[in-house]
Amino acid sequence: MSLLSFKGGIHPPHEKKYTEKKAVVKAVDPKVVTISMRQHIGAPCNPIVKKGDYVKVGQMVGEATSFVSSPVHSSVSGTVKEVTNKNVLGGKAMCVVIESDGENLIHETVVSNGDISGLSSKEILEIIKNAGIVGMGGAGFPTHVKLSPPPEKKIDVVILNGAECEPYLTADHRLMLETPAEVVYGLRALIKVLNVQKGYIGIENNKPDAFKSISEAAKEYPEIEVVELYTKYPQGAEKQLIYACTKREVPSAGLPMDAGAVVSNVATSAAIANAIKTGMPLVERICTITGSSVVEPKNMLIKVGTNIKEIIDQCGGYKGKVGKLIMGGPMMGLASNTDNIPSTKTTSGILIFNEDEAKIPEAENCLKCGKCVSICPSFLEPLYISAYALKNDFEKAEKYNALDCIECGSCSFVCPSKRPLLHSIRVAKKEIIAKRRKSK
C-alpha cells in the first residue's frame, strides 16, 4: 500500500531517538498540584471549591462557563490550600492549589459508565463533556464541541491523528504501543457519537511498531482503517491529515466539518475510553521530557497540575546551561520563561534546549527565493503576509489569506534569510481577528 501524504511540507530532523524506545513511567505523585482554570481553548472555568475544602481524585473543581469550555477536575486527594491567580503558560490564570494527602482517594462520582454497546450516542457525548476531555495534541479544543456540528454540516468520517509529526515528541508513539486497545475503543465511541460509518487512524511510517500494534487492535472492526502516512511535517495538522486520508480539501477559512470530517488525537481517544470504562475524568496524561539540556529524557505519566520543575527533576534535572524551555514540540510549542508553572491537559512535551540551540539567528533581507511558498501546506505566500505584517498593513495581509495559516512554522524553518515569518504572521492574525471582533 502506498503511503498517504499532502502537498507541501518539510522534513526537519526527527530527534525522537532520545525517548522513542523508552516505555512510559509513572511520575512520582506531586505533594501539591496547581489546577489551572484555563487550560483549553474557550472560556476559562469558574472554581467551585474554596480554601479548606477536601477534594478527591476525579472531583470537579472548576465548572465550564460556556458551551466552548470544559470542566477541570482534581488529580489528587487532599485539601484546597488556596484559590488564586498563579503563573501558568502564557500569563496568569485563576488556579486551585491542592495539597495532596498521598491517599489518592477516588471521588464517589467516578464510576464505570459501562460499555459503548449499552450507551446511546447522547450518553457518550455527555460522558465526554463531563469528563473534561479536550484535544490533547496541543490545541486543547473541547472535544464535546467538536462532536456537536451544526445540523447542516454532514460528517461522514472520523480521523485519529497518530502522526505525532513534531520532532522530539514520542508520547503518542508510546501510547499507541502500550495501550492500543484504548485508542481503538475511543475511536469506536467517536464513530458512535457522530453516527458515521468510517474511522481512520493515521500513523507516520517512522513508527512501524505503532502501526503494527494499532492494526492488531483494530482488526476486529471493519469500520476502522489504519493507514500509514509518509513522514513529513506537518502531517498531523487537521487539514493536511484530512487530505492525506480522504483527498478532500478543507476550503479557505473553513473547518474540518466543511470537508465532512472530525479529527481527534490518539491521546484524546484513549482518554475517552478511560472516561467510559472507569468514569475517571481527564486528570493525567503522557508527556515527553526531552532535549539536549535534560539529564535523562523520558516519557512520563504525569498528573495535571504537577509543577514543571518537579517533572524535570525526576528526569535528573537540567544538564549544562539551559537556553530555552518549550511546552510542546519545537515547531508549534510555546516557549516559557519559567519552569515554575503547572502542567495541563495539553502538556504533551517539555523540551529543553541548550544555549547554542536556542540562539535566534539574525534576519537578513528576503531573497524572494520562494521556498516558503513551495512548502507551505496551506498554499499561502508567507513572504508577502509577513512583509505586510511588518509594515502594520494588516488589511493587505488579510487579502493574502493570513487567517488560513496553521502556524506550523515550516516557512520559518526553510527560510535561508532566517526571516521572522511565523512570528509576524501570528501578529497579523491577532490583529485581523481583533479588528473583526471590534466591528461586530
**Look-up of cell digits 489569506:** 401
376 annotated to bind ligand? yes
CA distance 73 to 425: 35
287 annotated to bind ligand? no
CA distance 276 to 116: 8
405 annotated to bind ligand? yes
Neighbour-count burial of 50, counting CB atoms closer than 10 A to its CB (0-12 exposed, 13-18 middle, 19+ buried): exposed
CA distance 27 to 350: 14
Contact 419, 17 (CB under 8 A): no
45 annotated to bind ligand? no
Torsion of CA 169, 136, 108, 273, to 10 degrees: -90
415 annotated to bind ligand? yes
What are 86's strand-pairing partners? 93
- Count helices and strands (H / E) in the chain: 14, 17
- CA-to-CA separations, 159 to 22, 369, 394, in angstroms, rounded: 27, 36, 34
Contact 199, 160 (CB under 8 A): yes
- Closest among 289, 282, 290 to 265, alpha carbons compared: 282
CA distance 278 to 252: 40
Binding residues, as ranges, are 366, 369, 372, 376, 405, 408, 411, 415
Binding residues for [4Fe-4S] cluster, as ranges, are 366, 369, 372, 376, 405, 408, 411, 415
